[in-house]
Amino acid sequence: MSRCVRTIETAFAATGPSASRSIDAALDELEAHYPRVSERVVALEAVFQAFAARHRGKGDASGGTLISALVDRRQDRLIL
């Protein structure tokens, strides 16, 4: 999970479509490590929480919104 968070942090510092692709690739890799759906959902939430904790109070809501949307979409896909 920490590798995924680091990759997202690096991609988040960049701009443009390559940043989004890097974040998606990191989340794909994270999901691939967990065979059970429930484990993937929990891992995705943990990544979001770790990212949010690092950016809390820094006035950077757009990044949290982006990561939240990506994680929510993936969790919905897994659950539904």
User: pLDDT tens, 26-68?
Assistant: 999 999 999 999 999 999 999 999 888 887 766 665 667 888 8
Tell me what pLDDT residue 62 has.
62
State mean pLDDT over 7-32: 85
Token couple for 45? 């939430």
pTM higher than the cut 0.75:
yes
Of residues 33, 15, 34, 12, the one with CA closest to residue 23: 12
Distance CA 27, CA 80 (A): 18
